[in-house]
Structure 1
Amino acid sequence: MTAPSVRVLVVDDQTLVRHGIRTLLELGGINVVAEAGDGSEALAAIETSAPQVVLLDLRMPKYDGLWLLHKLQEQSCDIPVLVLTTFDDDTLVLDALRAGARGYLLKDVTVDQLAQAVHALANGGTLIAPSITDRLVRAIRASPPPTGAAGLVVERLTEREVEVLRLVAEGYSNRQVAELIHLAEGTVKNHISSILIKLGARDRTNAVLRAIREGILG
């Protein structure tokens, strides 16, 4: 039996780019249910098309990608957002991740890489392009730690929690983490809940960012 295709909303201000992304995704077996030219159109499309993943460009006139991410946060909307853009600004990447994006890819990815990323986010994972990971880590370490957080979390995370968090940082879903370290999926969910509480993080991506900043993940 064929698995149902992931429903995706493509958000980019350039029509030709949107059509190109749609073609790539459909070649990868992804169902593009809607397109939007800016963040405002994307909000409306989310309500009418019920996507499982939002594929988002950051730089758009008027209502840009960060605007949409903040709006989704305000509305407590948990649809995973995969940023697909041209990387030229460390701060922009951090801002997007802190605003709730669960993935960040460059527009030079292959069809397979893009399809895999969409499936990863649809299954609860996170994904950051390897080519920008080093720059991201350096940028996080160079930024000031959150008030009251420095020096407190390392001692509070158990070895198992660090192991789980490392796999989450690599983009694995709860089910995949459970399979890799031979635990029940419910146990993994409990570990992640504990990690979020201990790190004062609102979601998995934010937990990874804080763990990198604290040096927990090396």
Structure 2
Amino acid sequence: MNLRLSNRLDAILKEGWNTLEHHRESILSAWLDKCEELEDKQHAAAHPLRLAIEAFSSQWGHPISDIAEWLATFRREWEKRNGKLSPNQSTVILSMMENAAHEAIQSGDVMDFRVHQAIQYVFLKLHESVTAPDCAEFDLEQFLEQTVSSKQLPITWIAQLARTADGGFIVAKWYGSVADALIDNTVCGETIFALCERILCHMDVSETRLIPLPWGDDLLLVCTEGEDRFVIPFLLHALEQFHVAQKVSIRTKEQQLWKDAVLLFDQWIMRAKTLHQAIEYISTGFVAYLPFERCALFAYSSIHESGFGLYGYQLDNHEIKSIHEHIDHLPFIKQYIQRLQLLGRQMTNVPPIYVRHAEQGLPMKYVQQFQLESIVIAPMYAPSENRLIGAAILDCGPKTAFQLSNGLYTAVMKFGQSAGEILAKCSGGRPELVQPTPHLSPREIEVLKLVAEGASTYEAAKRLHLSEYTVRDYVSAILQKMNAKNRTEAIVKAIRDGII
């Protein structure tokens, strides 16, 4: 399985659009109210806003199956009505519509951050679509159509061939001026020679040449009336230039995708006000914005040269927190850390580690316990402090192998950098996360909250309908888990780490 970042981001975009459609009536009402308000004030934005509402409304009821086509359709509808707007004016109009949409949905008691973020992502992509300069899509079919339509090339037509189930060849698509007898019939042959013979039976062959031309995964058949020693080198050169431009376009799109993912992840984790929240948001964010299913967060102590579990998302949290390993038991991670130490302050981006088979890098007991196959280790490194804080271990579920695309690899690296910075910020100036957040039971948290409010053992027991001896046992367990000398120290640590 080849993981691609586009899969998760497309899902977020579709979630946002589905939410907008679900609240269509209230959103449309809010937009029209805003439009009437501007019209009453004779504001210049009133008319463009009404046209924008029409463009947007033309998309209602159209589920997103192909993201690129959906955005292209919206752009065409926008340009029909508001094509004369400058990019800045388009930004203002779309911003008004987005703000009104958020308000309308919030009035319906939808407060979930990720829902509103998905809506924000929809408007971000729509904004990019209508304000981006025109650029040609690098599509092979379009390229072939343009090639055969040129009056300066002696090419009559080009056929795109496909393999049949029995290993033969069949014409999948024609480009250019082709005889009706060829278009109306299925043209196939056991070999390229046999296919060409069948085609030539329907043509004037006096000046015609049929030239097979392999290109990537495609096989083209070029019909030319000129000398192939001139046509084929030119066509090969044109295809090569097309291929280079296509690769640049794909790379540009991949860069935009990982930048989108990092933006969404940063928004998600920056809400953290405590270390406990930061750890939880980072763990969930790695799964919410990247195409992974499970995340285990670990802290690293350079003093003790060991790592310990902080949090497990879609994993048994207690099992993750119970892990404490010296890096001598993790040879390839030890080597990786040693390489980082040699770089010193030259580090800005710390690349992740992709492990195709987990047993090649992790102790077998963990591989078996969590049914690991392929994993990615994302170092959480804070460049501002030149400090490796820990790592996130990511996978796609039990016994699931996968590969990484280039864009996803970059996104994982950037996520790790953002995670490192937020952990450094929330660690309260501590040089290391020397102790994981203790795992307190719901009842222990209740007892701790009452103690923090100033309740005595007797008062806490009465309010919880427990005996004083039971409450004392809970308090003792809390002090032991939190490594606190007394109740006051336990309360301070609990508030600092966001437990209470």
TM over 0.5: no
Question: Relative contact order, CA 8 A, sep 6+: which one is greater?
Answer: 1
Q: Give the TM-score normalised by structure 2.
A: 0.16
Q: Give the TM-score normalised by structure 1.
A: 0.29
